[in-house]
Amino acid sequence: MRINQQKLTAGLKPHYDFIVCGSGSSGSVVARRLAENVGVNVLLLEAGGTDDVPTVIDPGQWFQNMGSERDWSFVGEPNPHLNGRSILSNMGKVLGGGSSINTMVWARGHRDDWDFFASESGDMAWNYEAVLNLYHRIEDWQGEPDPKYRGTGGPVLIQPAPDPNPIIPAMVEGARSVGLPRFENQNGRMMEGDGGASIADLNVQDGRRRSIFRAYTFPYMDRPNLTVLTQTLVTRVTIEGKKATGVEILYEGNVHRINAGREVILSLGAMHTPKVLMQSGIGDQDELRYFGIPVIQHLPGVGRNFMNHCGIGCIWEYQHPLPPRNNAAEATFFWKSEPRLVVPDLQTCQVEVPVCSPESAAQFNPPQSSWTLFGSVARPKSRGQIHLTGPTPLDPIRIEDNMLSHPDDLKAALACVELCREIGNSAPLRPFARREVMPGNLKGSDLENFVRDELTSYAHQTC
């Protein structure tokens, strides 16, 4: 594979049938599926470098990628709803994108979400039953056989966390003790009802991360029709009339133009996809003209409707220190902030190390020997926007994340903290907790202020 890719990148062509921009979970799948057709040439472009590094390969080191050269480390604008704080948003800058730096918890969509997508689009190929068939095809499930819900033989190896930390079944039992049903795994039946708790499904194989890039693209890198080019920044789509004809890239310090005979696919994530579109002349005409970018298509929705899952850490000090196992986040629960809701709107992962904002760390000083219930509002109503700051590719974007700008998100976040505290202080977890570190028994405005100071990004951005 290495020799083949060295040959292909050394002889970079001026023209490919398909150019896929971004090697994250979407780009990796699209590039592989296209390259299955030996009659077409596919170019996959990635701004970051190799994923063959210990912090990517070793599941227990995932948090060391945050803030490293493998992370874009986007920073939002100061947010008045977060006491004026700016939120760091992690996003993968490496082969595999987010799937190479994330926590490796395999979380499938809820039935009602898929049926909603089908209803809104008028396309039943998006409904739950149709997508369940796709999940079957994608998965290589290593847990107890479950032919109704789980697939085998697919490219993505999934298994329940093997030999989990003793605190993990205790958290699941703690959730059950306060009324959440326990499930055999977090997908399948759990994604059809009110939610519940389970040991996490992980895309980890033999103690190594199984990213989507490794599952899909890597096995095809010995083929002559798939070129994977790293350290390459896509600067804009080239357009003639109203037709995309290729891309402009920054590679080895020089600007190159590469043509696409059939399609250009942008899979650059919630930040860089709108940025590249706007730099290519597709976006709100007033903003483009302000920066002197010729308008190809007035499309004011580009960069709008930004969403992200918030992260809120509730932390306990271990009674007796336990070293993390697997991905250090081996259990999860989904539940509702209010009983009247149809779909669960809260997600929490148990993390076997302390996770919190810099502000909370300064205030509460959690010991290194601590564990976290890292909660999230999974169906946020707050919306933000991505803006350009200049006309050139190296000009940074301006991110108005607007998290907690909708009052319902604050209500859900408060409910999430209360539920995490109820579970974290339940009898099954007492043997693992010397004390609750944060937030403690805060109420009213004090609890609201804690949430505004503690909220961070779950790195689930979309736009």
Q: Strand 243-251 relative to strand 232-240: parallel, antiparallel, unpaired?
A: antiparallel
Domain residue limits, the chain? 2-54+211-305, 55-93+105-202+307-457
Helix (DSSP H) and strand (DSSP E) numbers for the chain: 12, 25
- Rounded to whole angstroms, the Cα distance separating 388 from 383 reads 17
Is the full-model pTM beyond 0.75? yes
pLDDT of res. 209: 96
pLDDT per position in the chain (463 positions), as tens? 999 999 999 999 999 999 999 999 999 999 999 999 999 999 999 999 999 999 999 999 999 999 999 999 999 999 999 999 999 999 999 999 999 999 999 999 999 999 999 999 999 999 999 999 999 999 999 999 999 999 999 999 999 999 999 999 999 999 999 999 999 999 999 999 999 999 999 999 999 999 999 999 999 999 999 999 999 999 999 999 999 999 999 999 999 999 999 999 999 999 999 999 999 999 999 999 999 999 999 999 999 999 999 999 999 999 999 999 999 999 999 999 999 999 999 999 999 999 999 999 999 999 999 999 999 999 999 999 999 999 999 999 999 999 999 999 999 999 999 999 999 999 999 999 999 999 999 999 999 999 999 999 999 999 8
Catalytic residue among 272, 309, 387, 460: 460
Q: What superfamily would CATH give domain 2-54+211-305?
A: FAD/NAD(P)-binding domain (3.50.50.60)
- Rounded to whole angstroms, the Cα distance separating 189 from 127 reads 16
In this prediction, what percent of the chain has a pLDDT beyond 90?
A: 99
Intrachain domains 2-54+211-305 and 55-93+105-202+307-457 with the same fold: no
Backbone angles phi, psi at 138, to 5 degrees: -75, -40
Residue 460 is a catalytic residue: yes
Fold for the domain defined by 55-93+105-202+307-457 = Glucose Oxidase; domain 3 (3.30.560)
Q: What would the DSSP string read from start to end of 300-344?
A: TTTTEEEB--EEEEEEEEESS-----TTS--EEEEE-SSTT-SS-
> Collapsing DSSP states into helix, strand and coil, what is residue 286?
helix
Which among 249, 366, 362 is positioned nearest to 316, based on CA atoms?
Answer: 366
Residues in the chain: 463
Q: Which two tokens stand for residue 283?
A: 């976006």
Which among 226, 212, 213 is positioned nearest to 4, based on CA atoms?
Answer: 226
